[in-house]
Amino acid sequence: MTYHSNAIEGNRLTLKETLLVLREGVTIKGKNFQEHLEAKNQGEAMSYLFQVVDASHRLTLSHHLIRELHQLVVKDTEAKIAGSYRTTDVRILESKLRPSPGYQVQGKMSRFIAWLNKNKKMHHPVEIAALAHHRFVAIHPFEDGNGRTGRLLMNLLLMRSGYPIAIIQKNDRAKYYRALELADSGNPDQIVRLVAQADERILHVYFQAITKSSERDSCAHSL
């Protein structure tokens, strides 16, 4: 998740290098310091996400929780904007969508949270996670880090409904941006399908792991 989410945004660390940075604190030759910090921050945000999902740490989806996720994502790279909604106007690279003016962000985020809390039980969990992700990145509430924060929020919703995380892979970057553009135009089918496929892919990984574990247990008992 850390590798792919950062790679979509242009981080050049490989999967193996990301693992070394997260587990060993290794500095990778030829990669800039910001790329290392992005991996570290995303890893910490993922750890926090699993704490929030835990039954004993359930927090209401709120401005505070969303800002907390963003703060973790950019705290070492863009500390000045970490956890703060933007008040200035921005443009999204590689997108025709023009985000709302800065003065509208607070109000739009309040309406987004109200919409999500009202509709989350009216849609399939995968569908609501995908729709919420699109609505969030369309508002673009922060100056930077919206994609990474939006994917964390999407996975928080999935995990709270008992689903595994959905990893949008680096190789699907163009398809992912195209799906978001279609959703901007009122057709969310492709972003919902993309998230569903990503979640299904991880389910297959889990099933394979469970099957192999069961086979090893059977072999051990037979011996």
Set 64, 123, 140, 204: catalytic member? 140
Q: In terms of residue numbers, what domain contains 153?
A: 2-222
pLDDT for 220 beyond 60: no
Mean pLDDT rounded to a whole number for the chain: 90
Q: Residues 153-193: pLDDT tens digits?
A: 999 999 999 999 999 999 999 999 999 999 999 999 999 99
What confidence score (pLDDT) does residue 106 get? 96
With b for 16 or more beta-carbon neighbours within 10 A and e for fewer, the 105-116 pattern comes to beebbeebbeeb
Q: What is the per-residue pLDDT across 108-119, written as a single tens digit (0 to 9) for each?
A: 999 999 999 888
Instruction: For 12-49, write each residue's pLDDT tens digit.
Output: 999 999 999 999 999 999 999 999 999 999 999 999 99
Q: What is the pLDDT of residue 91?
A: 82
Count of structural domains, the chain: 1
C-alpha distances in Å from residue 158, one per residue of 11, 17, 130 = 25, 27, 9
pLDDT band at 54 (very low <50, low <70, confident <90, very high): confident
pLDDT over 90 (residue 130): yes
**Entry pTM:** 0.90
d(CA 103, CA 41): 28
70 is catalytic: no
Q: Residue 28's domain is classified under what CATH number?
A: 1.10.3290.10
**What is the per-residue pLDDT for 146?**
95
Per-residue model confidence as pLDDT tens digits over 78-119:
999 999 999 999 887 766 778 889 999 999 999 999 999 888
**Residues 25, 68, 76, 151: is their CA dihedral positive or negative?**
positive
